[in-house]
Amino acid sequence: MRGERAATSGVGCHSRHELVFPKRPCQWRTIESDESRDFRAPRCAYRDPYQRPKSQNVAVVPRLRGNTVKFYEWLEGQKNGSLPSGPPVWICGDCHVGNLGPLANASGQIEIQIRDLDQTVIGNPAHDLIRLGLSLASAARGSDLPGVTTAKMLEQMMGGYEKSFEPDFHEESDMTMPESIRLVTKQAVAASWKTLAEDRIEDVRPAIPLGKRYWPISKAEKREIEQLFETEEMSKLATMLRSRDEDARVKLLDAAYWIKGCSSLGRLRYAVILRVGSKKAKGSPYCIMDLKEAAQAAAPRAARVKMPADQAERIVEGARYLSPFLGKRMRAVKLSGKAVFVRELLPQDLKVEIEQLTREEAMKVALYLAAVVGKAHSPQMDAQTRTEWQKDLQRNRSKSLDAPTWLWTSIVELLADHERAYLEHCRKYALEVT
């Protein structure tokens, strides 16, 4: 079974991050993906070229692949000294808007934190700022906002990031939550097992529907997963939520191989349904566990720093620094000899999705999300390091832009690369039809 999956991994699949062009240039749009569902994409003029397509139902040819690897290839091509070195801290490594969102901790509290840490490394925090700025600039262009708004968004982004370094900073009292983020937070608060099950397995019954998204696994695979959750460490992970009895019995009800984008193909990825305690337990006794094989990060690590050699341990360690609500409910394990990280999917774990921005909302979103990223970076630095990093960020600013020139230049170049590829696609299409 596992060999069959690996054999299909290169056939007709999307890359982990992919920009897509429809056949006719006049219909051009890019589409962000939700890894758990297929959506028809909203009409949009421009999307983040380094973010996944939102629907794989839309027929598109050809495809320009703009993934995390490409992003760091571009960074590697920059001249030495063109970007600040930055203090070595755990960074997200793929810090676009869709990788931020509401996360719940074991006690049920909800905060906006970084929600995807596959690319996390001890690296340069400037990389997270460039990636976030690119994502915000793309959202502004997709909302048909003028270029001056993009510049103002970057100023607000830097303001929010720097504000998060203040000793007594707290986003609830110091920041106004933008409407788009408030709405997704409201959805997270109201979420339940029912909404999670309907989203992930399309039914509230604790069974995984086999088909396009879920493939059957062998008896040996299921038994290995079952044995994994019989260990004390994994049983405690399943019972750690405050509504569950610590001594409750954990039983595997169902498991399947999970197709979540092409990053799954050729690697282990399982969805597992457990029952914790009896059916009559308080609240829902069911939970969904996500088991994912960890891959080598594309993000460059800082020189002479110690990081876990095991890829799953790297992701879990980074999550504990950057997103404590998520990191504390993740575990690194071995499965079939592979490094795998495990986390429970909670109903409250959602992603920020920006469909259309007004100028005012764009300013608020940039300020707020940058503060979230800053809040993840700053606790890893001592007082002196924080002060020096803040001074570095204040350098290289012009009279017309209250943001570092390296940030503006980087984003303009990345957007220009995307635009160049789009125009080249249009030229080739014109040659085909004439």
- Asked whether 279 and 255 are in contact (CB, 8 A), the reply is no
* 355/55 Cα distance (integer angstroms): 14
Determine how β-strand 250-258 pairs with β-strand 286-293. unpaired
Question: Using CA atoms in the order 13, 19, 24, 27, what is the torsion angle rounded to 10 degrees?
Answer: 120
pLDDT score of 282: 65
CB distance 276 to 235 below 8 Å: no
- Per-residue exposure over 77-104, b if at least 16 CB sit within 10 Å of its own CB, e if not: eeeeeebbebbbbbbbbbbbbbbbbbbb
The two tokens of residue 221 are: 């695979």
Beta strands per DSSP E along 234-336: 250-258, 269-276, 286-293, 330-335
**pLDDT by residue, tens only, the chain of 434 residues:** 444 444 333 333 333 333 343 444 443 333 333 333 333 333 333 445 445 444 433 333 333 334 788 889 888 888 888 899 999 999 999 999 999 999 999 888 999 999 999 999 999 999 999 999 999 999 998 899 998 999 999 999 999 999 999 988 887 778 889 999 999 999 899 888 788 887 787 777 888 999 988 999 999 999 999 999 999 999 999 998 766 777 789 999 999 999 887 666 688 999 999 998 877 666 678 888 999 999 999 999 999 999 999 999 999 999 999 999 999 999 999 999 999 999 999 888 888 888 788 999 999 999 999 999 999 999 999 999 999 999 999 998 998 899 999 999 999 999 888 788 778 888 888 888 76
Instruction: Say whether 173 sits in a helix, a strand or coil.
Output: helix
In the chain, the amino acid numbered 139 is: A
Exposed, middle or buried: residue 149 (CB in 10 Å: 0-12, 13-18, 19+)? Answer: buried
* 276-310 residues labelled b (16+ CB within 10 A) or e (exposed): bbeeeeeebbbbbbbbbbbbebbbebbeeeebeeb
- Boundaries of every domain in the chain: 68-188+351-425, 198-345
Cβ-contact 323, 103 below 8 angstroms? yes
**Tokens of residue 211, six digits:** 């088909």
Give which of 68, 63, 65, 59 is closest to 93, Cα–Cα.
Answer: 68
Per-residue pLDDT, 170: 81
